[in-house]
Amino acid sequence: MRDWKIIFKSLWIFVQVCFLGVLKVNNAFGWTWKKWMHGHTFRTTGKKSKSDIWAVPRYGMRSLRKIWDKRHLTLSHTAEVIYCQTTSQELQFSNYISAIKGKGNRLLIYRDDTPHALGVFCRLVLTVMVVVMGTFLFFCSLFAQHRSRLGLMLLQWVENILLFHRCALWSVEQIYFFGGYENDACFTGLMARIFNVHLITIPSANPIRNFYQQVVTGTFVITADFQHVEYDKYKFNWCCDSIQQWPFIEFSKLTPYIKGDGPTNSKSIGFLSRGAWLRKKRAVHAQNNNKDFEYEDRCMTALRQFLKLNPVYTLVVLPHPMECHRPELKQEAVAYYNDFFEGLNIEFYDKGLKSYECFADVNVTVTAISSANIERLYCGYKAMFAPLGAEMEFFSGSTLDNIVCRQEEKFDELLSDILSREEEDFFHHYELLPYRFDSVKIQR
């Protein structure tokens, strides 16, 4: 396909999304607008992101740098590619697709690093479009509630053009998409349909409600059993041709850590942190209208009270990777948890290992919300969710909600009951066998 056709087709999709979205039309274009404007994104953070008057010009300059980037594009021919955020995810997602499909060597395209081969004329045309659209969006942003989102929209439009231009050059027929949690995912889905590329959206094993209330894709992959129930709830705002079920993304690396006959440390309780204190410090937006921070704070408070009443247990803090990203952050995290759980038996797990590498070191893990608990269940260990204060059923009434505590008054009772059970009894009593390694399905 000629380069300029890709540019103008994408512009037409963009115009339809904006027009039909503003009119609140209930179709794929309207859903795309809703997710773009109100959906989650990790790319606009900070306290000033909503009010930053220069957000659109700044994202416009980033768009122009992508257009005129002179990075070399390797010419190839491939039917399938993997599309993800950064080069650091290459090994994780390549191994996953190889484990599912039984073959490897797929090429990857990275959102943060997408070389292209647009001709000079097309670059000039795209530059003019970015300037014109940027000017329009800048004036719109003066009256918008979240200015950074409009600037990011411009950058994401350019990123999707570069993605499908590259797909056209490589004759790509199918994309394994690992970025569906971002707010422009539905726009990517619309582009894929227009350019006859089959998009396979692969989420993490978290609730669909968090990031996938609107979906436009070719195939959506269920990666946790409770997502079936959620799909039935949200499918009316989805444009999706088929549903498949695969194991969750990290399953292949967990094989060495599946529970054997050896005992776990019966007197240790693990706390799986999401780093809420650090996210609040950085003014990062959280799911559930920012209530996730409250859930974790109240979970930690209830856990502290339980440990005061049951001093025989040692608390093992399993930090989020962002809390150990730099030595000074880890030092700050250790000080924070030592202060919060002062006077209690506490260990900060800072051995440089992933949480799944120390599953046998604790009797049960407690978290407000963390997909690491799904990994733990898969390996045959006990887990508990405690989003205290949450009003909704986090896992849509599936059996996983049997180990979810949403009220402080029931926290001690549920945790004590889980601690008292052996693993086999735990899985049968709480009806969690579908989440264990010996029951996980490959296809729906």
**pTM of structure:** 0.86
- Among 69-73, 255-259, 331-335, which is the least confidently predicted range? 69-73
Average the pLDDT over 122-132 and give the result.
94
Which has the higher per-residue pLDDT, 415 or 441? Answer: 415
pLDDT recorded at residue 392 = 75
- What DSSP assignment string belongs to 182-229? STTHHHHHHHHHHTT-EEEE---SS-HHHH-SSEEEEEEEE-STTHHH
Which has the higher per-residue pLDDT, 352 or 33? Answer: 33
Domain residue limits, the chain: 3-249, 255-435
Q: How many helices (H) and strands (E) does the chain have?
A: 15, 11
pLDDT recorded at residue 444 = 39
Average the pLDDT over 267-293 and give the result.
75
Terminal-residue alpha carbon distance, the chain: 35
The overall average pLDDT reported for the chain is 88
3-state secondary structure of 81: strand
Structure-block tokens of residue 376: 């733990």
What is the fold of 3-249? Answer: Rossmann fold (3.40.50)
- Do residues 78 and 173 touch, judged by C-beta distance below 8 A? no
What is the fold of 255-435? Answer: Rossmann fold (3.40.50)
pLDDT recorded at residue 290 = 55
Residue 288 has pLDDT above 60, yes or no: no
Q: Do domains 3-249 and 255-435 have the same CATH topology?
A: yes
pLDDT recorded at residue 263 = 75
Residue 221 has pLDDT above 50, yes or no: yes
